[in-house]
Structure 1
């Protein structure tokens, strides 16, 4: 498994055995802790023992004895906490940016658009995400998780289901697999007014983080979904477990009530592309609502959090700088950690917390502005649990049987996919995932045509006992959060006729990073709903 190379150390030949006892290393560089005091060590050290930050030192004299004689790894850069994303529909992130056909005022308008949304997003996601060829499902999981990692994300939301597909490179807020860490859950669809108590209030009473898409849109109908949470004499279905996503339909006066929640997740680019407007975050800030940042999904959002930070910065400038660079950086580090109840474990660089880190090249700029302005190829390394999962080639040990080489903005990187338990996703590499998804999207009309026949053929085999009968009524495929029913194999067969094959077209797999997609900004600027101030500064 991957580890950093020391200065001057050559790549070893042959497999490397882990030493007995704790694994220790010292990273040297500018350290932006994001702790409560906003401590920045100009030339600091992060001491790591196994998966934990053992110490943070402002100079070598402060190093603990067990680390003081170790040769530090000179990062030549700036060390931040790993980024935390609390709003992303990850399984859709193998789809290209959507050419939004009009301005919508409510999310149900585009979700019910069977002329454009269904054939360009819903059906391709269904065909690949529940394909009888399981390698499509594995390829989606590998591709979208690497895409998040390549943007510095170490914790992600939007994975939903516990299964082999969602155990890998980044942390999963719905399945942290750690004792004592709150386990998040959520709801994407609107709860009916007569079921707020059952569908929202009861979820909040479970005492764990609950994500809810709230007031997504700009019309009265969108805002009504917020007003539905007012249960009269029983109070509001809003408490410290609620993490509200979008909130674009809220009026300024509504944020006072929302301040009782854990916070809100702001996705400005997706809001602008679909609705021409975003949440009134200046009003949320005034009322003390905690705000995290999320990139939403690839059809109408940023490629990753690094991209979303840039959109948020432009909006902040338009609002007169009500946030500033440090507050924007906290929206992807310490603030989402606190909203999750994970702030004892991640979100800042402090002794005793997990060593989830993002290292950027250079240390000359304002440290917060540096992160907001960073491109993906300025990443030196992304570390999860003390282990470099992505690092510039030459900074990490490389073993061809456990890692692969990728290029990001012309820079060669080592990607470490190895797990102690053995290969995941049936050994699916990133390069194989890219090839699989590229083929599937390019041949979407043919795959859609064959989807019904192949799915129903598996059903017949199971009904005859030639496959296990429990396949018939077990969940099948990757959970697509915008389609509330995952569907069993039998369901998928029954519903396959809903896919209008005459409307399906060929699609292109998007590059994993914005820096490798030279036409991306131009396509964003061409969106019909984008405000002039944003179009002019992107």
Structure 2
């Protein structure tokens, strides 16, 4: 896949992965053979099935039949099984089956960081909070250290643990698809980490078009070039838009200029049905009408918006205009731990600020069917129907309204998470029934299992358990000043290569768009009032960095994987000054 002049290299193929497997990983594979969905057994799981189809079909007692990572049939239990499934044992889940949760906005690399508590002031737009002293101390500084640290052998020692940890954080929240983690090398090559949770930017599946979440700087600085790029692509563009607030009496806000700069000519906008604006909090009703007219969508991140700006996107107006809406938790420094939590915030906001405008089914739809439609994945994901990919979330219990039950459920109610027909996380009994026992993890003092083996995954991450990842990150976060001092030491001169053509070893680092210039943008930085008036925030490289990180940073806590295991999260939420009362005091009731 290419993106302008920059080539995006895929991660190793299954063959190269197998060759590079460590002895530890090889022994583990012999003990518990990895399940390839194209070669694994046929499966059948029973429960109440919430299909999320167009008709809103809920089957109170049904069986999901799976083969090679695909749903073969969704049938009422009394129907005979489809051909070839006569002898396949039906696994009783005792729960309610939903499509896996699809997240369209998450800076996954930052999700080991704790919540910014409290957010120190009310900000007006995205260009302000990165200039607050806390930002470098609590967010950009720690991630710079984690993302670039090298051990004595020159290896990016914290990269694999970080990737493993944040991906497991998704799984424990029922998330089966999210935005990817981009890596950069000292050779100038960039690629996405290939892992267990689906990555919208690199799918490795011809039926799932690959979304674009970054565009070359040259296209990000010209509305006409940006429009031309939109027209050439069949996939979805997930780009930050109007991060901030706009009051009707002050329509010339910086956040809104970000949107107005998309107008190429009268009634010609750099927007089409492949454009999804992340945040879109600064759009006025007339702007949302334009977005709807040109087929654009928005990705709503209510908790992050409310924490930083005290307000969020006008989703009520967006719904009335016919704009498609999905959800994203943004990142842990100013958002929910995962999409499971963001469902709760969206529900509370709808109930109390919008007079119940969105039903529970609407909110769940934003994280399943609507997200799939925005991605142009609706023929393969987003609902539980024959022919779709087998991404499944099972919640405990079968009573009451299923949508309301999902929003009100605790994290410990997640019984099973399945991706492409492979059980990845869940109750020990269910995981054993599907041959995916894996690693033990405790959630809210309850035992769960994680199955992390993957033949096509990144081999460096594949050998890292969640326990090892957590241990490495905890130690690193406590040693931040020490690690920063090591990074600040002058680097010794490189020895001359033994041969002129001797290659330099490739070393990977996190591509931290929020901190470092990477040659691509997550948000168009378009000129509004002339070529010098760019609407995007200042580049990270232009921010003041006078104090060395070794003198600025202090030990910080690793963010727990779940709210159930975080003694501080709900208290911190209750003490956030920018949140509306309904969320500050109401969120705890949903956990």
Does TM, scored on the shorter chain, surpass 0.5? yes
Shift of 1:40: 0.5
Counterpart of 2:281? 248
Alignment CA distance shift 1:376-1:194 (3 Å):
closer
Residue 124 (structure 2) pairs with residue 124 (structure 1):
no
Q: How does 1:315-464 map to 2 (within 5 A)?
A: 315-318=349-352, 319-397=354-432, 403-420=438-455, 423-425=459-461, 427-453=463-489, 456-457=491-492, 460-461=493-494
Alignment CA distance shift 1:475-1:255 (3 Å):
farther
CA distance in 2, matches of 1:279, 1:340: 20
Residue 559 (structure 2) pairs with residue 510 (structure 1):
yes
User: Contact conserved, 1:462 with 1:468, CA < 8 A, in 2?
Assistant: no
Counterpart of 1:271? 305
Alignment CA distance shift 1:203-1:451 (3 Å):
farther
Counterpart of 2:124? 105
Shift of 1:401: 11
Residue 272 (structure 2) pairs with residue 239 (structure 1):
yes
User: Contact conserved, 2:180 with 2:193, CA < 8 A, in 1?
Assistant: no
Shift of 1:519: 1.8
CA distance in 2, matches of 1:158, 1:245: 15
Counterpart of 1:150? 172
- Structure 2 residue matching 1:397: 3-state secondary structure: helix
Residue 578 (structure 2) pairs with residue 529 (structure 1):
yes
Counterpart of 2:332? 298
Residue 205 (structure 2) pairs with residue 175 (structure 1):
no
CA distance in 2, matches of 1:284, 1:243: 13
CA distance in 1, matches of 2:338, 2:382: 17
Alignment CA distance shift 1:15-1:298 (3 Å):
closer
Structure 1 unmatched runs, 5+: 1-12
Shift of 1:500: 3.6
The CA deviation string for residues 369-398 of structure 1, in whole angstroms up to 9 with x for no partner, is: 111112221111100110101121122239
The CA deviation string for residues 93-124 of structure 1, in whole angstroms up to 9 with x for no partner, is: 011111221111011111223x2111210111
Shift of 1:507: 0.5
Shift of 1:21: 6.8
User: Contact conserved, 2:177 with 2:198, CA < 8 A, in 1?
Assistant: yes
Normalising by the residue count of structure 1, what TM-score does the alignment of the two structures yield? 0.89
Shift of 1:327: 0.5
Residue 61 (structure 2) pairs with residue 61 (structure 1):
no
- Structure 2 residue matching 1:185: 3-state secondary structure: coil
Alignment CA distance shift 1:65-1:180 (3 Å):
closer
User: Contact conserved, 1:398 with 1:414, CA < 8 A, in 2?
Assistant: no
Normalising by the residue count of structure 2, what TM-score does the alignment of the two structures yield? 0.81
- Structure 2 residue matching 1:394: 3-state secondary structure: helix
Alignment CA distance shift 1:188-1:516 (3 Å):
farther
Q: How does 1:283-294 map to 2 (within 5 A)?
A: 283-294=317-328
The CA deviation string for residues 124-146 of structure 1, in whole angstroms up to 9 with x for no partner, is: 10110121132201111101111
The CA deviation string for residues 449-477 of structure 1, in whole angstroms up to 9 with x for no partner, is: 111227x34xx3366669997659x7840
User: Contact conserved, 2:180 with 2:192, CA < 8 A, in 1?
Assistant: no
User: Contact conserved, 1:189 with 1:482, CA < 8 A, in 2?
Assistant: no
- Structure 2 residue matching 1:44: 3-state secondary structure: strand
- Structure 2 residue matching 1:522: 3-state secondary structure: helix
CA distance in 2, matches of 1:402, 1:164: 31
Q: How does 1:83-232 map to 2 (within 5 A)?
A: 83-99=101-117, 100-113=119-132, 115-133=133-151, 134-161=156-183, 166-187=193-214, 195-199=222-226, 201-219=228-246, 220-232=253-265
CA distance in 2, matches of 1:74, 1:307: 27
Counterpart of 2:90? 72
Alignment CA distance shift 1:395-1:523 (3 Å):
same
- Which of 55, 65, 70 is equivalent to 1:47? 65
Structure 2 unmatched runs, 5+: 1-29, 185-189, 247-252, 520-540
Shift of 1:418: 0.9
User: Contact conserved, 2:230 with 2:270, CA < 8 A, in 1?
Assistant: no
CA distance in 1, matches of 2:308, 2:76: 46
CA distance in 2, matches of 1:184, 1:391: 29
Shift of 1:513: 0.6
Alignment CA distance shift 1:264-1:434 (3 Å):
same
Residue 480 (structure 2) pairs with residue 480 (structure 1):
no
CA distance in 1, matches of 2:270, 2:209: 20
CA distance in 1, matches of 2:502, 2:344: 50
Counterpart of 1:281? 315
User: Contact conserved, 1:25 with 1:72, CA < 8 A, in 2?
Assistant: yes
Counterpart of 1:26? 44
- Structure 2 residue matching 1:321: 3-state secondary structure: coil
